[in-house]
Amino acid sequence: MLKNVTKEDVDVLVELQEIEKGANRIRKVLDGVENEISIRKKKRRDAEIELKTLEAQLTEIRGQYKEFENEVKDRDIRLKKSEEYLKNVKTNTEYQTLLREIDDNRKRNSEAESQMIDFLDQIEKKEKEVSESQSRFNEIVETTDREIAEIENNTVSERKELEIITQKRNEVAINVKPRLLDRFNKILQQSAGIAIVPLTNTTCGGCFMNIPPQKFIEIQRGESLNFCPQCHRMVYYKKS
Ligand SMILES: [Zn+2]
């Protein structure tokens, strides 16, 4: 129970509640719209993630290919040097060692080259996947951009209306004592956008519970602001 709340105070709160109901109706519409927009944004994000993942895979394979290519190049240089050196070796042992080394390097190069061919295949496949994914992404961006613009365009009047209602709410709220307004806003948040309800006969207009007789008499007197014992909303007496 809040004491020293006048009939005028209650009237302003009731007016505020009416404004709030209007705002809620529009917010619901806009929430639905927000949801529609976020579905499209998610679709776009998913397509972008897919594209980026494929691009990263392509970079990785290209990197591996490059590594093999460099190894082969290095070994080719060493091979050339060894072949040059082979002409001038003095001993047979030296000759045999060098020949083994050359053979070994040639073998490793040929293995590397066959792996490189394999990588080239993979690169080609991945490039195709990237290009397809890029087209899909572009298409999705184009479609979702258009759809989002359309959705936003269709709600221009709602947004404008909400702006006007918000302004009106602020104008009315100035007339409410701060402690009352605080309480009102808190209940508004906790109780599905309805903070103050009329008491018709002895029934709470918020949760439809019957108010105990003693409490009802108190509320009827109208000298204080009372709360429903069940839903904790502000209740005021309204002659039916
Ligand atoms: Zn109630």
Sequence-ordered strand ranges (E) for 18-68: none
Average pLDDT score over residue span 70-87: 94
User: 203 C-alpha vs ligand 1 centroid, how far in Å?
Assistant: 8
Q: What are phi and psi of 191, to 5 degrees?
A: -120, 50
Confidence of residue 219 (pLDDT cuts 50, 70, 90): confident
Q: For the purposes of burial, counting CB atoms within 10 Å of the CB of 240, is it exposed (0-12), middle (13-18) or buried (19 or more)?
A: exposed
Cα–Cα distance, 180 to 117 (Å, whole number)? 78
What's the whole-number mean pLDDT along residues 109-133? 97
| Mean pLDDT for the stretch of residues 87-92 | 90
* Alpha carbon of 171 to ligand 1 centroid (Å): 28
Domains and CATH numbers, the chain: 34-175 (1.10.287.1490)
Q: Tell me the per-residue pLDDT of 142-187, one tens digit each, with 9 for 90 and over.
A: 999 999 999 999 999 999 999 999 999 999 999 999 999 999 999 9
pLDDT at 218: 83
Helices 92-154/156-173 angle, 10° precision: 70
Q: How close is the Cα of 131 to the center of ligand 1, in Å?
A: 61
CA-CA distance, 93 to 233, in Å (whole number)? 102
Token pair 């009315």 is found at 172
Find the 206 Cα to ligand 1 centroid distance in Å. 5
CA 155 to chain centre: 21
Report residue 25 CA to chain centroid gap. Answer: 24
pLDDT digits (tens, 9 = 90+) for 155-165: 999 999 999 99
What integer pLDDT is reported at residue 240 of this predicted model? 62
Q: What is the pLDDT of residues 197-218, one digit of tens each?
A: 999 888 999 999 999 888 888 8
**Cα of 177 to ligand 1 centre, how many Å?**
23
Cα of 179 to ligand 1 centre, how many Å? 21
**How many angstroms separate the alpha carbon of residue 30 from the centre of ligand 1?**
28
CA of 191 to the centre of ligand 1 (A): 10
209 vs 5, more confident: 209
pLDDT at 239 over 80: no
pLDDT confidence of residue 105: 95
**Number of CB atoms found within 10 A of residue 192's CB:** 11
User: Per-residue confidence at 136, pLDDT binned at 50, 70, 90?
Assistant: very high
pLDDT band at 91 (very low <50, low <70, confident <90, very high): very high
Of the listed ranges 25-29, 82-86, 110-114, 236-240, the least confidently predicted one is 236-240
What is the average pLDDT score of the chain? 93
Q: How many CB atoms lie within 10 A of CB 20?
A: 21
Spatial separation of the C-alpha atoms in residues 23 and 173, rounded to whole Å? 14
Contact (CB, 8 A) for 215 and 229: yes
